[in-house]
A = this chain, B = another copy of it.
Amino acid sequence: MTERPAAQPNTAKSLTIGVFDSGFGGLTVLRALLALIPDAHYIFLGDTARLPYGSKSRETVARYAVSSAKFLQAQGADLLVIACNTATALALPDIQEALPIPVIGVVEPGAHAALTTSSFPDGPHHVLVLATAATVQSHAYTRALNALGLEACEKACPLLVPLVEEGWTNHPVTDDVLKIYLTEALAAAPATQTLLLGCTHYPLIEQAIHRTLDAIGHPLTIIDSADAAARATAALVARQFPNRTSDAKPTCTFYATDSIEKFQRLGSNFLGKPVAEVNLIDLGG
């Protein structure tokens, strides 16, 4: 991925990592980051007043994402993780151009993680990407996978985010919808060997996806771009902030642009623990 030098890469100070998503899904990335880099400060922003990004145009998503990224930098972020596949796919270059700090997305780490599973010596490795409509239309995953020599097929799954937000993560209707989406996708790409979850909501239905793949007789290795993005961030931190000090009392501050109550209630499912102290902010619009 493209990386910019940090403003003060060698100054010994504690590190603040900004994490941005259009909603709650990016909390799965924050959860993975907290496991890998537990001694940093975190600032998370969910742009919940303007979600979802997945059904909107590139221009609109770029405008929303850049204003959100600038907010996190103004709050003191030393580096930024775009924990939203749609914002990464449609607007990562815009955000990197607008900010003087390193910015990591989720698409290229996901593609690199797929590469590590390609231990098939003969012929090309085929990856199926499940994502929102906007992420698929951008073809960002296909470009990133092709650049690594992997074959890619993308499938838009517009109902999966609403099903996860309805709480139907272990539900027969979700299994039926997955069966339809996966059967269609595997008919178009029968050589698929690896499944890449190209949306931060999807880790919550990973078990249902495994179950459905088994039921239709096509078990696959599943790659989670949230985990992959956290590992890429840890590598970047080790390289670009070698002199950072560990903080004995790391903090986690949450901001949302809409209902704090809903953010706390739904967010805890994604973070895997209670979401405390959410601050409401207005980014306009």
Contact = CB atoms under 8 A, between A and B. Distances in A.
A166 B159 contact: yes
Interface string A173-188: 1001100100000000
A57 B64 CA distance: 18
Contact of A177 (B50, B161, B173): B173
Contacts of A60: 49, 257-259
Interface in A225-275: 257-259, 262
A284 interface: yes
A168 to B, nearest CB: 8
A55 B159 CA distance: 15
Contacts of A258: 56-57, 60
Nearest to A260: B57
Contacts of A57: 49, 258-259, 262
Interface in A95-124: none
Interface residues of A, number: 28
Contacts of A259: 56-57, 60
Contacts of A172: 176
Question: What's the dominant secondary structure at chain A's contact region?
Answer: loop
A277 interface: no
A46 to B, nearest CB: 12
Contacts of A94: none
Contacts of A48: 56
A9 interface: no
A217 interface: no
A84 to B, nearest CB: 16
A173 B171 CA distance: 12
Contacts of A51: 55
A38 interface: no
A150 interface: no
A50 B173 contact: no
Contacts of A177: 173
Most B-side CB within 10 Å, residue of A162, A163, A257, A283: A162
A50 B180 CA distance: 29
7 contacts: A49-B57, A57-B258, A57-B262, A60-B258, A159-B162, A161-B162, A173-B180
Q: Nearest 8 pairs between A and B by C-beta? A: A285-B285, A162-B162, A57-B259, A49-B60, A60-B258, A56-B258, A57-B258, A158-B166
